[in-house]
Amino acid sequence: MFPEEVLEHVFSFLNSHTDRNTASLVCKSWYEMERWCRKRVFIGNCYAVNPRVVIRRFPEVKSVELKGKPHFADFNLVPEGWGGYVYPWIVEIARAYPWLEEIRLKRMVVTDECLEIVAKSFRNFRVLVLESCEGFSTDGLAAVAANCRNLRVLDLRECEVEELSGHWLSHFPDSFTSLESLNMACLGSEVSFSALERLVARSPNLKTLRLNRTVPIEKLSTLLQRAPQLVDFGTGAYSAEIRQDVYSRLADAFSRSKNLKSLSGFWDVTPAYLPAIYSVCSQLTSLNLSYAATRSPDLTKIVSQCYNLQRLVVLDYIEDTGLNTVSMSCKDLRELVVFPSDPFVGEVDVLLTEQGLVSVSQGCSKLQSVLYFCHQMSNSALISISKNRPNLTCFRLCIIEPRVPDYVTHEPLDVGFGSIVENCKQLTRLSMSGLLTDRVFEYIGTHAKNLDMLSIAFAGDSDLGLHHVLSGCDSLRKLEIRDCPFGDKALLANASKLEKMRSLWMSSCLVSFGACKLLGQKMPGLNVEVIDERENVNSLPEYVPVEKVYIYRTVSGQRFDTPDFVRIMGKDKDDLYNLS
Amino acid sequence: MSSPLLGIEGGGQANASMESGFPKNPTFTERNYLGLSDCSSVDSSNVPSPCLNLKATELRLGLPGSQSPDRDPESSLTSSEKLDEKPLFPLLPSIDGICSSSTKTVVSGHKRIFTDAMDSCSEIKGLSDGSWLSAASGSDSDPSKSVIQGKFSTNSNVKGNVSSGDQVAKGVTTNLNKVNASNPPAAKAQVVGWPPVRSFRKNILATSSKNNDEVDKKPCSAALFVKVSMDGAPYLRKVDLRGYSSYQQLSSALEKMFTCFTIGQCGSQGGPGKGNLSESKLRDLLHGSGYVLTYEDKDGDWMLVGDVPWDMFIGSCKRLKIMKGSDAIGLAPGATEKSKNRS
């Protein structure tokens, strides 16, 4: 038996949550030892556990990470008011962890009051990351700025912030010099530029600065000059009348930014200003041009110089030719994201096809992660991609029109996606689109043994499809499905699998009220939430399919913060629908 | 309540085989977790199913290239070269429409690619719960046929919403998705949340493609999401203004969203809202003045909705608010007034 100090030292090398969780299962003394020295807690579903239970088990936590709404909330499928409120957590951890340093939240509702509590409760608070959160305003940010003396990171990624004023930034006191990372790209309001400049000037450790759209291009050179140590820079709106002096200053400032590795921003691009970044292209490991609505030649010129690029996010304006250049120039590429420039247009104006992705898969041997929007795909292209890149870990393909078959053969894309899961044995994340039958799910159930997250839309023919996935995918933890003809049978037959997963989302499928109630009754470890906004929902018979159902495992029982369009099924003793 | 009988191999025609190559649970085995099936065994694998041995009710995944529901079981697995007459996706063999529509999409050339996968897992017994199938093949077969075919066509304008099941036969738990076939094939029917692109990304592209001369100008059809709040409602909603082409449509959509409240006159059309989620709330509101729809424009001013042409409205609307009529007194009557005053 090792003395505690030795165990503690050994555990300090265990950083991943899964490793720590596993270690805590070995025996009672390891459990005790581990829980006292765990510093970082990650809770993938805020409703899976109670904050008090977490606090009781882990008394010495310095960092809390929480996720709230299901992923499809990003696409407006989860009605406002569903939940994901962080307030109860903030109140508890403010009381229990006065020395907390980090809070990371994703898809949660954060109010100004929460931010005020955070600002005032933690003496050594350092890191606040809010990703895809909403519910707060610039007043809350002002409270954080004013009170968090040791703040290092303020990262607002893609949040929806109520913009009351741009003055929040001025609330950072003059004595505040510890800032390392500031991401305000999602904000729309103008901040005082002089306050911003002074903040940058007195932050010698500032490595990440992502501005918002209101910072004009003329001011960028000033900021870059103030912070030559910057590693990650996001511009504001990258447009202005073409003026030689502005251009030269900008180009000069970029050329002096020897540490710059990541560039983003570029809203409203004036293409003539793009060459200003050429001098840093060869340093870049990450480049996000996904707001740059400019055509392929401009984009191609840039990427052709990015020899060290590992991550590229771009619009489909890059076209197949641009991606071909990527495949030849960016030999270190690990991640490719191509967003659609105009997701709703009927006729396709942009020459981005499956070919672009195939070339990148051929030329970039380290490519692991793909998110690709396009209008056509073929089985042979998917097969080529899978054979070129068996090392893919994340493959998300969105063919914009639902249920589109292989454009060459008019077959379903079953075989193509089947090839992906068969050849890419380390695949952990997959999103599919196009015309797909139950067959593709058979392939997935057979081969995708490492798949952790699967997203399905407008696919399949019957419950068999869902059954293949639930019974075959051993590592599956997150499954999200919309508009598929999957119903009660596969769900009920695989009920125990649901307890091994974090969550299952099904919307516009064929799961009935009755099945949801049954599942909720029989599985105390699951919350079966029916999300249904129809007026007459209480009078619908039990065999009618629900609009949406969200099923997740939990040790904290049903929640009580639900709006009236959410019902937690099967928990009532008298078998009525739960009208909370 | 139907049982989760997911029929098992062995029933009736010993249909070859669950190949050993298939790694796990090749059968659609009955798990009986919920104690709902009639079979007494728990944790069963390979429990013989009840004698539902009608060929017509068998569900199998045949080899690709198979054409018809009348198949010869023996020839199924031997090799993929034998592209014999087996249904590819004979889900409900009694519903011919499904078979024919699905096999339309099958072309023989590509079948050989996954010989392993096919050899090992091509014969899977599907659902052989006779009651489910006979119910489905009964009265519902025709509507369901058209539904499935509708789904297989490209450019289908699926709304993505399952409507309330008023066409569902009683007792059938697996209802075929009722496509809202009454929708005329729109130029581009927008499905909620599809493609999976975040709202802020859609809005940004809409504005930047307007500003940028480099990009070809076409009538911008990207989505335009704005928040809609309502006095007294506990949460707000979002609507895509480009999904509507008139105030009428917007108003009825908002009515549906905020059905517990009345929405008053709004520009050239109006009409009281209907429906109630809460009786007492509705009563309160009907006592007081009606509600009006207002919007915040690009200058930050709050205006009444409805006075300006629709296109001008969506070009300047930043967000919407459903206010009490009494609160809305004094609001600018419309942007036309405003611009008149300016110029």
Residue B99 lies in a domain: no
Residue B218 touches chain A, beta carbons under 8 Å = yes
For residues B166 and A113, what is the distance between their CA atoms, to the nearest angstrom? 46
Please report the pLDDT score of residue A350 as a whole number.
78
Average pLDDT over residues B79-95: 37
How far is the first Cα of chain A from the last one, in angstroms, to the nearest whole number? 51
Residue B42 touches chain A, beta carbons under 8 Å = no
Please report the pLDDT score of residue B43 as a whole number.
39
Q: What is the pLDDT of residues B109-151, one digit of tens each?
A: 333 333 333 333 333 333 333 333 333 333 333 433 333 333 3
**Window 203-262 of A, Cβ < 8 Å to B:** 239
For residues A326 and A324, what is the distance between their CA atoms, to the nearest angstrom? 5
Residues of chain B in contact with residue A541, where contact means CB-CB under 8 angstroms, are 165
Helix (H) or strand (E) holding A287: strand A286-288
Please report the pLDDT score of residue A177 as a whole number.
97
Chain B: nearest CA to A282, how far in angstroms? 26
Residues of chain B in contact with residue A518, where contact means CB-CB under 8 angstroms, are 1, 34, 36
List alpha helices for A268-388, DSSP H. 278-281, 296-303, 319-329, 354-363, 379-388
Residues of chain A in contact with residue B35, where contact means CB-CB under 8 angstroms, are 522
Two tokens, residue A130: 């809010």
For residues A380 and A326, what is the distance between their CA atoms, to the nearest angstrom? 21
Q: Please answer yes or no on whether A405 and B154 come within 8 Å at the CB atom.
A: yes
User: Least CB-CB distance to B193: which of A76, A349, A437?
Assistant: A76
User: Least CB-CB distance to B174: which of A419, A446, A489?
Assistant: A489
Q: Is the pLDDT score of B161 beyond 50?
A: no
| Cβ atoms of residues A580 and A529 within 8 Å | no
Q: What is the pLDDT of residues A97-134, one digit of tens each?
A: 999 999 999 999 999 999 999 999 999 999 999 999 99
Beta bridge partners of A552: A503, A527
Q: Please answer yes or no on whether B114 and A419 come within 8 Å at the CB atom.
A: yes
Residues of chain B in contact with residue A483, where contact means CB-CB under 8 angstroms, are 158, 160, 177, 191
Residue B226 lies in a domain: no
| Cβ atoms of residues B11 and B128 within 8 Å | yes
Beta bridge partners of A572: none
**Window 306-325 of A, Cβ < 8 Å to B:** 315, 317
Residue B248 lies in a domain: yes
Residue B14 touches chain A, beta carbons under 8 Å = no
Please report the pLDDT score of residue B226 as a whole number.
83
Residue B167 lies in a domain: no
The domain of B306 spans 234-261+279-330
Using pLDDT thresholds of 50, 70 and 90, give the confidence band for residue B208.
low
Residues of chain A in contact with residue B235, where contact means CB-CB under 8 angstroms, are 79-81, 563
Residue B118 lies in a domain: no
Residue B108 touches chain A, beta carbons under 8 Å = no
% of chain B beyond a pLDDT of 90 = 1
Return the residue in B151, B174, B188, B257 with the most chain A beta carbons within 10 A, the one to mutate for interface testing: B174
Residues of chain B in contact with residue A461, where contact means CB-CB under 8 angstroms, are 89, 91, 98, 102, 148
User: Least CB-CB distance to A291: which of B33, B175, B204?
Assistant: B204
Chain A: nearest CA to B304, how far in angstroms? 22
Q: Residue B136, Cα to own-chain centre: how many angstroms?
A: 21
For residues B271 and B266, what is the distance between their CA atoms, to the nearest angstrom? 8
HSE-CB for A384 with a 13 A CA cutoff: 15
Domain count, chain B: 1
- CA trace torsion A420, A421, A424, A426 (10° rounding): 150
For residues B279 and A350, what is the distance between their CA atoms, to the nearest angstrom? 52
CATH of the domain at B326: 3.10.20.90
Residue B297 lies in a domain: yes
Residue B299 lies in a domain: yes
Please give the full DSSP string across A541-580, using - where no structure is assigned. -TTSBPSEEEEEE-SS---S---TTEEETT-STT------
Please report the pLDDT score of residue B332 as a whole number.
60
Two tokens, residue B13: 């025609």
Chain B: nearest CA to A177, how far in angstroms? 32
Q: What is the pLDDT of residues B277-333, one digit of tens each?
A: 344 444 444 444 467 888 888 777 888 888 888 888 888 888 888 887 777 766 665
User: Least CB-CB distance to B162: which of A271, A437, A508?
Assistant: A508
Q: Please answer yes or no on whether A402 and B113 come within 8 Å at the CB atom.
A: no
Using pLDDT thresholds of 50, 70 and 90, give the confidence band for residue B35.
very low
Residue B214 touches chain A, beta carbons under 8 Å = yes
pLDDT in tens, chain A (580 residues): 678 888 888 888 998 998 999 999 999 989 998 999 999 999 999 999 999 999 999 999 999 999 999 999 999 999 999 999 999 999 999 999 999 999 999 999 999 999 999 999 999 999 999 999 999 999 999 999 999 999 999 999 999 999 988 899 999 999 999 999 999 999 988 999 999 999 999 999 999 999 999 999 999 999 999 999 999 999 999 999 999 999 999 999 999 999 999 999 999 899 999 999 999 999 999 999 999 988 899 999 999 999 999 999 999 999 999 999 999 999 999 999 999 988 776 556 778 999 999 999 999 999 999 999 999 999 999 999 999 999 999 999 999 999 999 999 999 999 999 999 999 999 999 999 999 999 999 999 999 999 999 999 999 999 999 999 999 999 999 999 999 999 999 999 999 999 999 999 999 999 999 999 999 999 999 999 999 999 888 899 999 999 999 999 999 998 999 999 999 999 876 554 444 3
**Window 479-508 of A, Cβ < 8 Å to B:** 482-483, 485, 487-490, 492-496, 508
For residues A87 and A66, what is the distance between their CA atoms, to the nearest angstrom? 12
Please report the pLDDT score of residue B234 as a whole number.
67
Residue B294 lies in a domain: yes
Residue B329 touches chain A, beta carbons under 8 Å = no
Q: Please answer yes or no on whether A518 and B1 come within 8 Å at the CB atom.
A: yes
Please report the pLDDT score of residue B303 as a whole number.
85
Please report the pLDDT score of residue B189 as a whole number.
56
For residues A204 and A179, what is the distance between their CA atoms, to the nearest angstrom? 8
Q: Is the pLDDT score of B34 beyond 80?
A: no
The model's pTM:
0.71
Please report the pLDDT score of residue A580 as a whole number.
37
For residue A518, the chain B residue with the least C-alpha distance is B34
Q: Tokens 């088990």 map to which residue?
A: A57
For residues A537 and A86, what is the distance between their CA atoms, to the nearest angstrom? 29
Q: Please answer yes or no on whether B154 and A290 come within 8 Å at the CB atom.
A: no
For residues A497 and A491, what is the distance between their CA atoms, to the nearest angstrom? 9
